[in-house]
Amino acid sequence: MNLSPLQKARYEYQPKLPGMLKAGIKEISVKVGSATTSVADQDKIKALFPNTYGKEEITFVKGSNTAASKKQVVGVILSGGQAPGGHNVVCGLYDALKATDKNNVLLGFKGGPSGLLDDDYIEFTDSFIDEYRNTGGFDIIGSGRTKLETTEQFKVVTEVAKKHGLTAIVIIGGDDSNTNAAVLAEYMAANNTGVQVIGCPKTIDGDLKNEDIEASFGFDTATKTYSELIGNIERDSNSAKKYWHFIKVMGRSASHVALECALETQPNICLIGEEVAAKKMSLAQIAGQIADSVEKRGNAGKNFGVAIIPEGIVEFVPEFSVLIAEINELLAGKKTEEFNNLPNWAAKYEFIKNGLTKESFAVFDILPEAIQKQLFLERDPHGNVQVSLIESEKLFSELVKAELDKRKKAGTYKGKFAAQHHFFGYEGRCAFPSNFDADYCYSLGYNAFMLISYGYTGYLSKVSNLAKPADEWVAGGMPITKMMNIERRNGEDKPVIRKALVELDGKPFKYFEANRDKWAVETAFTYPGAIQYYGPASVCDLTTITLALEKGQM
């Protein structure tokens, strides 16, 4: 195998563990905390999870290990989109298994949850694991988006577990995947299978967090990767002085990534979806806000700038959400075929005009024609608009251009406007994990085995105090049901983990809010540069600005 110098060096990096986990397996004990309740809908969640609800939070401390001694055969899956550090979760789990007993076995099921259903797996060995330590990606066993949620699926998983003698299954995933982990754990407990289920919190979007889970893994690396690229573009913008760069970043359901990148790079504009929704901002208002910055800078001779746009921004705009709902209704059933058979866009435009309410058509009519067509040509398997495919960075630059044209005619805008567009998504999902994510993920995996060894099920591997040096991190576990509430999904009430949105009264947003007016007019760009892996801890082991602000470290 041909390896890059960095890849070789990263294989040899030894991730840091929380202090209580470094003592050695035989010297790790359990401190039992208080019983838990779900964040909402307590009676309904309790009824759905009678065997796993209300359990205590636990913390690992130094002391005599009292876990029962038995051979462990553990299965692990990677579920959902990639996030930097996933390999280290598997490595930490493997190392803890083998440190306890060399005869313990770790099976990696390929392609996500479907690997469990298809019994497609590999047994990990030292030599195999060593090729993936501290590296990005999920290629160690692949990932997938199959959901484990039906009784039929659970029966198949039970048979596969029985065939291999599995004592536990570790599911590494986001909010939906860990919801599935909670439901699977309940099934396994209700049917006395003897199979434990443990989850690990993963998502670069940063929306799997709460008072217990301070950060999901991958967020640190992904935002640092995007911030490096944004900083590079800022430097180019400040050099050429002739383009406004509109940069879309990952984050459909929450704007954590956009906010962190803004804190890292201090762009002129950053939209926060949660604020747009709270203020019920229209597309015109948002475009006007961006245009204000462009106008002030342009009139001062600065015909350049940077705007960060979260991927899911349009879903936070109330009038746009109504438009999407009406389009989905307009093309329901056989109407899609009728629409597609119209001879040209002019005919389709009239069909749309006659089918939408006056208010929604007014919103539709201000959109650039390319976006209008995208709303009707890009459909998901259920016939609905694929909002995530909307090129919102181009949408807003076009709306801003139209607004600036009006201002130029009115004589208030004297500058020039030219736009460049970027979307940073895949670039950050499989990057070499930062030291923080390498350490955090390894600790999550190691910690997951400790939960297994002590007999816990339906728990999420939890490592906290993350704004401090790794030696001060605290390891333990919490029942997944603690994070759950009931939401309406596809016409049914479903138990799900509540997504964490950007808190508008939280310290990260308040810091951004206090500075953004200055950033909008001045050229206050900061250039984070590439992730640093070797050197002083003050540079290499930095947490995100979001976490530092939340924990009072800034």
Residues carrying an active site annotation:
205
Q: What is the number of other CB atoms lying within 10 angstroms of the CB of residue 177?
A: 28
Q: Are strands 474-479 and 459-464 parallel, antiparallel or unpaired?
A: antiparallel
Q: Which amino acid is at 298?
A: G
DSSP strands (E only) in 284-401: 305-310
The answer to whether the CB of 272 falls within 8 A of the CB of 502 is yes
DSSP strands (E only) in 336-491: 419-424, 459-464, 474-479, 484-489
CA-based radius of gyration for the chain: 25
The answer to whether the CB of 219 falls within 8 A of the CB of 257 is yes
User: Rounded to whole angstroms, what are the CA distances from 293 to 178, 299, 319?
Assistant: 42, 10, 24
DSSP assignments along 198-235, one per residue: EEEEB-TT--S--SS----BTHHHHHHHHHHHHHHHHH
Give Cα 492 to chain centroid, integer Å: 25
Burial class (CB in 10 A: 0-12, 13-18, 19+), 487: middle
Among residues 363, 362, 287, the alpha carbon closest in space to that of 321 is found at 363
Question: Which residues lie closer than 8 Å to 470 by C-beta, 6 or more apart?
Answer: 16, 17, 18, 439, 443, 541
Q: What is the number of other CB atoms lying within 10 angstroms of the CB of residue 186?
A: 23
The answer to whether the CB of 252 falls within 8 A of the CB of 175 is no
Question: Which residues lie closer than 8 Å to 190 by C-beta, 6 or more apart?
Answer: 50, 51
CA–CA distance, 315 with 380 (Å, rounded to integer)? 16
> Which pair of structure tokens corresponds to residue 495?
């138990």
CA dihedral (225, 228, 233, 239) in degrees, to 10, reads -170
The answer to whether the CB of 307 falls within 8 A of the CB of 290 is yes
Among residues 8, 60, 69, the alpha carbon closest in space to that of 30 is found at 60
3-state secondary structure of 522: coil
The answer to whether the CB of 275 falls within 8 A of the CB of 283 is no
CA–CA distance, 142 with 474 (Å, rounded to integer)? 30
